Structure 1
Amino acid sequence: MRVNKLSALVAMALSTTVLTGCDFYDEPPGNPGTDPGKPPVITPPDQADFVASSEAELIAAINDAEAGQYIGLNTEGDFANVGHIIIDKAITLISTNADGDIDDPADAGTTELAQAVFSGAVCIDIPTAAAETLRGGEQARISNIRFENITMDSCGSDDSSNSIINIGKVGKDKTSVILDHLTFDGNSFNESTGDSDAWIYSRGLVDISNSSFTNKSESAQSMLYLNCGSSASRGGSNSDPRGSIMTGNVFAMAAANGSSSTKAATIGVPSNFGQDNKNCAATFTENTFTNFAALISENADPSTALYDVFGDTTEADNTLEDGGTDPGQPGDVDHTVTNVTELQDAVANAAAGDVIGLTTDGTFADVGLLTLSKAVKLLSVDAEGNITDPMTTQATLSGAVCVYVPSDSVEDLKGSNQVIISNLAFSDITIDECGTADTQNAIINIGKVGKDKTPVELEYLTFNGEGFQETTGDSDAWVYSRGLVDISDSVFEGKSADAKNIVYLNCGSSASRGGNNEDPRGSMLTGNTFGLAADNTAGTTKVATIGVPSNLGQDNKNCEATFNANTVKNFAELTSETDDISTALYDVFGDTEAKDNILDDDGGTDPDPTYPENVEAVNAAIQAATAGETITLGAAYDYSAGVITIDRAIKLVGAEGAKISGSACIDVLDGAAGAEISNLSFTNDQIVKCGTTGDAREAVINVQKVGETDQPILLKDLSFDATGITSQDQIENKGAWIRSYGFINLTGSEFIGQSRNLQNDLVKLTCSSSKGRMGTLIDGNTFSITGDGTKETAAVKIGDSSGGAIKDADNENTCAVTVSNNTFNDYSQQEVNNVGTEGLRDAAIFGRLPAESTNVFTDNNYVTNP
């Protein structure tokens, strides 16, 4: 539950009073901000120490400034495409006139102040490396500046994010980064759309006040994203946390928000839910939210302004667009029911989005078949219809009960339309066949629903199996799902060792992967308790069977499930890929993420994952692996030298922050058809010959003559940063970042920092082998180039060239490469077969054109930044 109580506000007031009593500022900070939920107010001097009117002057001023000094941005200056600005000391950026005169932004309520304007490609980065400098009251501040016509991209030198302002893990001694009186006009923003992309992204402590965030597009994600994985986000203290404060701001969508993905703020990382010391302890007071239907939710509910992942946000006196003040309570109940007949009638007559409240003193025995084919929410209410606190007082269903979400409702239950079953108890249940199609022996039977990654939500439920009458089939379960389901904060206890599963995930349908096999999002089980009535030694009973055993080995039948931060009682082991005795999870396909789970009653947790520590260890792991196994690289280890050799169809993936650097490279050999490389960052400062065979080539990823029908090498969700290469001497024989003689699919990846001053293709495809003509796909990637050089270079080069032109030859004319849905930033030429021999010679796509070859170029976006 979120915090919204007087005691919390008083605590915040006391905390702030203590802070402002410290010597945090060279000058008195003005209003000390002792009101609860408000940061200190710092009064600026009358005159800035530096005045900048251009990018060069701004960078020079930042370099020369000392802690405590003010840098004025001339309101008549030009700050378009300033690129990466690093603030790693306690300085203030603020608008001034040409003479450096500062108007106090606190006067904005009575006087309209002029603002300097950032536009185009802008990244303001307060890096994690500044954590020791920005503490003890030494604060970085950005004040009274406007952002418009922004092109968002990766921002930050470490702990990067797609954002405009990226704040690293700073905040020790409860010293926040201060953002105040800023204006963000998203009307012409070119935004990225990743789950955590945001106008402001913070891993540290940030106070945002009196700022305006307007015209946010529903097609993008959050205005503000708080990633609280570090104690810095809680002021450097987990035992005495002080979270970020947002007060007096305006958050406005361009139009009424109907999307579950777009938020004023995402507060906490959803995948961290249930983990200790990952919550935000944030405060939102006196903010205004426009074009949102609801203020705050602990789920990514449609049209909710604040996605409060951990439910610990303090909020008070915030105003929704209708002028009313949100009380911080759950939404209204549309139907209050006290018995089975009323419940059945309410479900039959409900409209999408309705909330149906089951009274805690009602009678719900032998409900029978309850078909939920519309986006309704079932939950517990008291006799007056008020929603009860989760896991405290619950309405109870008993006897013959079948809650059924049918497959034929798949088109209705997607996007912002979601079935939610919350805060109900199940006791003395008789389990029998459930459903009218895709039937199953279950209490809750979920069909093939889940398109647009829209799960059925089961939360705060209680199942007491001690009085259950259960069937004993292999796939029988309390909850059975053929679709996408998220189960959180629920208790499943008293399970008999004579029956089978508590949860069974049948992933034969793409709906179970969010409706997308290419970009899967599986079911999530988080923060639950699963317990047998006694020790399990028979081997027949599971917490969950994840995947259908008879489907093993078939494509697109795996679950991609997540099982994190759950407590499992009376099982000897957590997970196995076989039906082992006394193992909680039967992970049929071996692709379940399981971490931070507590096993049995000993208080122990799953051990931290182990990663190969260097390239040599990676190769040893590959040689010990069989096809289909996953090898994960860790963020803390050094993969900067040597060749990683992939000679079988394994998956090489990166944990968050894992990177290949230095001169290290990946060589993909014959026998590796179907292998995958994903979620890795490449920051090499050398490109060398990669491999030890005769087909070794100069590349960071060298794909040899590899690939079979329907088995390309999958390269996805990768990032390549070329800024570390500044000289042709760092590139052996004009090597490429990715060079392929085989069959590849490159998707969802990002390439930045390519230089026109170097001959260095990002992706080089050679079609001399039949493997290279099998239909390579380059789709959904982003490529960017900088500099003013005249070298022949390309984002994607297809075939060999001579004299600045792709050869008109059989190999080049039959490459069969599809380049689609990519974004190319600032390339001088778009789709060409000849870049010429002088002048600007860089191209987005350099290959034989579709009209003269088997290549296909479609739906690509060519952007020229001002």
Structure 2
Amino acid sequence: MKKSTLASLICIALSAGALSGCDFYDEPSTSETITDTTPEPTPDEPTAFVSTTAELIAAIDTAETGDFIGLSTTGDFSNTGTIILDKAITLISADALGNILEVDGDTTTDQAVFTGAVCIDIPTEAVETLNDGNQVRISNIAFENIIMDSCGSGESTSNSIINIGKVGKGKTAVLLDNLTFDGTSFTETTGSSDAWVYSRGLVDLSDSTFTNKSENAQSILYLNCGSSTSRGGSNDDPRGSTFTGNTFSLAGLNSAGVVKAATIGVPSNLGQDNKNCATTFTDNTFENFTYLISETSDPSTALYDVFGDTVLTDNTLVNDLDDTTTPPVTGTTDPKNVDELNAAILAATAGSTITLGAGDDYDFSAGTITIDKAIKLVGEDGALITGTACIDVLDAAVGTEISNITFTEITLDVCGDTSGSSSNSIINIGKVGKDKLGVTLDKLNFDGAEFIEPTGSSDAWIYSRGLVDISDSIFANKSADAQNILYLNCGSSASRGGSNSDPRGSIFSNNTFALAEFNASGMTKAATIGVPSNLGQEDKNCATTFTANTFTNFSALISTTEDNSTALYDVFGDTTESENILESTPTEEPVLPLNVAEINAAIVAAESGATITLGAGDQYDYSSGVITIDKAIKLVGQEGATISGNTCIDVVDGAAGAEISNITFANDAIALCGTTDDAKEAVINIQKVGEDEMPIILTDLTFNTTLITSQDQIENKGAWIRSYGFINLTNSSFTTQDSGLQNDLVKLTCSSSKGKMGTLIDGNLFSIAGADAKETAAIKIGDSSSGAIKDADNENNCNVTVSNNTFTGYTFDIVNSVGSSGARDAAIFARLESESTNQFPGNTFN
């Protein structure tokens, strides 16, 4: 903003008396050129004369470029809804005889009146029509008792009475002149960008009166200068909107009010290239505002000049105050507790700074701190929020900043409006984010060492339904039992800056997110980014950015699935990350069980998802006993870990999703495995276990069958793996089966519904030696009788896929009968694909 020193001095000198013509910006230099178009001369009679809404809509539909539509001053234009002006025509008042009433100088005339639910939309789509001097004009019309609502369509929508889209190409402005807006009985919305006139394009407004603006609704004019059309279609040679000879008046003087005569620019666009407005205000009068212009959203300032490039000339500020030279520096308050803090927030105006004090005199340990406007909540060094206190940022608090506060010894509970915008959190952010301006959190410190927090999947230290930027903050000592530090619910477009077509997601930079200790099997996240149940739905994504953050004690940085110990659960897969650091240092090596008894003790003590590791070496003896798995743990071997002797693994009810991997089985006996009624002869006995998408995972296993040389070592024709449940067996090897022994490497029984859930055997190696006459198989699916798989429901509906395996040395490849004499060994002994639900693709038989 360039201020004229001389003009400022003159205004100060006049401050003791009536203020007139105080303007603080230089007039445009003589080198500047503003290109104006000459409006169509006004005829005495209109092209069409209308007295009702229906006649008006019909006349607009049939109008051609240059037409004038006269609106009768005695007509009824109530509740017209949306009037679309997408061609270069003029709406103007006409008397009862059909003569156009044009204002000449100070002459006043009667006016046609719009009332009720009405808006006039000049849509972006008309940009190719409204240029080269072809202008829309609205002249000498009044607006009374208006009910404001959404006006326009798509990206060019606003809550307004006149909505102007991205028109202005060729420096052709929309013309508004001699209009009258009386807000006495308006019903209007209160959003930060809602306005009587909202423009994304080029508009020239002159000789109009805006009176009785409510102090509860924010702007008379809102100029969104994000498009070059607002600068006449040119960034290099801009021609901004002009406002001449108008009166902008509040209903009453309110020195603390947030209402503006004009918000000139979108605050969130500040600092971006080609987003300026370049407007000119000349010879306007501003009544009941305290200050004329400011580059910040100061209370009671007529013009909020976001980009500081507005030019003022000969404007008048009318009020009863003595000093209106500059907006004051916003003061701070000194609340001592949550109740006093809420009172300070309630009394504050948008843009105010409220300081959170530090020391024994301050107690912010109980209650909800509610922020309902764009304040700055700044802590003194050492400022603390503790106990059951939380911060609830409401939807209207666009532009709120919270900084330099520490959170310790927190008890998390419900924060926010329980009707739908609440969460179990410390900071709960509503649907804040319109015009790409959200909530800023900076230099916050969360120490979770003594937090008491719930463990729900969406509970979090910070929960946001809107746009939030977090920087230079520390989140430390997060418990491995509670799920999220951040939870981003992106169901609202507010989380994308208010736009689905041009999203601007939340930004996280230079923060530290740290678990209290390393936990490779934990479900805790630095951030859950998106709501998992929204995956696949339109306009629910987050579009977040994580830059230069540090993640400590997580195993992996980012995943699109909810993997254990992953810092960022990126539900929609649209997160952008760069320059982030993953610091993962386990605090100590796990203690490995020495024998089967210790394995079972470890399983009893473990939570679902835990990993229990079997050791490799002479000190580990896993040669006797039954290992019982009754929960979804991972039983993993170090390289070379071996189960031997008659030891077996019994997988029982409750273990759906369990995993057994990287173990060698070198048994010299196959014994009865388990203590329940479903105990069976096997090395791995899978009982009736499994749930949808939760099979028992068997992977990277090695079975050395060569130590069993006699049928006496196999109880009741036992199998190496016997399953009545739902399993996935992958990447494992079985060497080398003896054709002289009656036993199977893998035996599947489908009498249980769990055994029909889609078992997969894929990518394994099976081999056999000899050519004896024993009935045996690498994989047997179902029960047999007299050397043939039974033709029965249980055998025909096993739903097993055997794929991409390699079988070496077997007499038969895939058969449903091995006969009663001769060599009777088969690679796959099962009902055939043509007669069952089984599938056998991609296998190799050598």
TMscore range, shorter length: 0.3 to 0.5
Q: Give the alignment's TM-score, normalised by structure 1.
A: 0.45
Which is higher, the Rg of structure 1 or of structure 2?
2
TM-score, L = length of structure 2: 0.46
